[in-house]
Amino acid sequence: MKTIDILEINRRLNQIEESMITKQELEKFIETIAILSNENTMNQIRNSEEDISKGKFRIINSIKEL
């Protein structure tokens, strides 16, 4: 039977922890997947990008300008 000292256990746990993602990172990833998977949302994004490239936008400096 192989034995491991506490320093080796700590080193291995640190390696595992370094490769893990946080709950916030996972939530952001899931939101991104949801957006990319929604055809309607992606079409809206593409259309907005086209409008911006054609100069079809205005700068809003306050809520009153909406």
Of these ranges, 3-12, 38-47, 55-64, the one predicted with the greatest mean pLDDT is: 38-47
Q: Tell me the whole-structure pTM to 2 decimals.
A: 0.58
The span from the CA of 45 to the CA of 37, in Å, is 13
Dihedrals phi, psi of 19, to nearest 5 degrees: -90, -5
Please report, for the chain, the start and end positions of each structural domain, with discontinuous segments joined by +. Answer: 21-65
Question: pLDDT by residue (tens digit) across 29-52?
Answer: 999 999 999 999 999 999 999 999
Please give the pLDDT value at position 34.
Answer: 96
The chain-wide mean pLDDT, for the chain, equals 94
Please give the pLDDT value at position 1.
Answer: 77
Residue 5's CB is within 10 A of a number of other CB atoms, namely 8
Please give the pLDDT value at position 49.
Answer: 97
The span from the CA of 31 to the CA of 39, in Å, is 14
Contact (CB, 8 A) for 15 and 21: no
